[in-house]
Structure 1
């Protein structure tokens, strides 16, 4: 059971962090090169709608499997090691940022596009990008902490 929890936890992190890296570092620049603003906004709306829908399932799985491992392997936070505490903190911060972005700027982007307000949609998309960028940085830090703590002490 512990191995299954660990695999689900790691796969969730790979999907989340990898998806953000792909969206920001590959898809966004390619869309800017190939598409005009209206098509780019429509594309990014579709991408983030699908990605955020997936994350509404992935993020709780990551949090719940993390807690299950803390209580199954370490018998609680009091007995766990430094990197577990740091992963917990960054994971909760990332989950909060995701919720704020998905329920705030992303909803505003959808509403602005539906109303034909491209300037408003673009401004909201910039706020989505900022939140995703912050989460990508935190996600990469969390992965580094996990690897360092597990094998580096």
Structure 2
């Protein structure tokens, strides 16, 4: 029983870190940075903040499927016999993962390069793409959390 609770709590904490971090970045840090910082400082801030946040997202990306499938295993269920909301959660996780990987592997290096070369227009363009993808991922994450919390069946 204790192992079930620990696996579940670890799963929840990783979801909170990922989705909560995106919420903080999108709803609180981004507007404050826009209000208080000029483009070079703002781009430098994001170039430093995102890799720090992404270390925690990598933890979540790795732990969420391990704990999710662990919970299924502890219930002696497979994916095919899991409730539909769990199957949808797995699909949404894969979408969120693909968006995160696009940001981390394809866009973040461009932001770092633009900041290093002080190419502020290019940095702003890359940051805009990152912002849109984080916004999409935030919406998906909030949907996923709502789905998990309500345990909707289709």
TM-score (norm 2): 0.93
Gaps of 5+ in 1: none
Once structures 1 and 2 are overlaid, which stretch shifts more, 22-31 or 108-117? Answer: 108-117
Paired residue for 1:118?
120
Q: Which residue of 2 aligns with 1:18?
A: 20
Deviation at 1:81, TM superposition (A): 0.5
Q: Is 1:128 matched up with 2:130?
A: yes
Q: 1:64 aligns with which of 38, 50, 66?
A: 66
1:111–1:6 distance in 2 versus 1, CA, 3 Å? same
Where does structure 1 differ by over 3 angstroms across 4 or more consecutive aligned residues? none
Matches within 5 A, 1:3-152: 3-149=5-151
Offset, 1:74: 4.6
- Larger RCO (alpha carbons 8 Å, 6+ apart): 2
RMSD of Structure 2 on Structure 1 (CA): 1.2
Are 2:17 and 2:56, in contact at CA under 8 Å, matched by a contact in 1? no
Give TM-score scaled by structure 1 length.
0.94
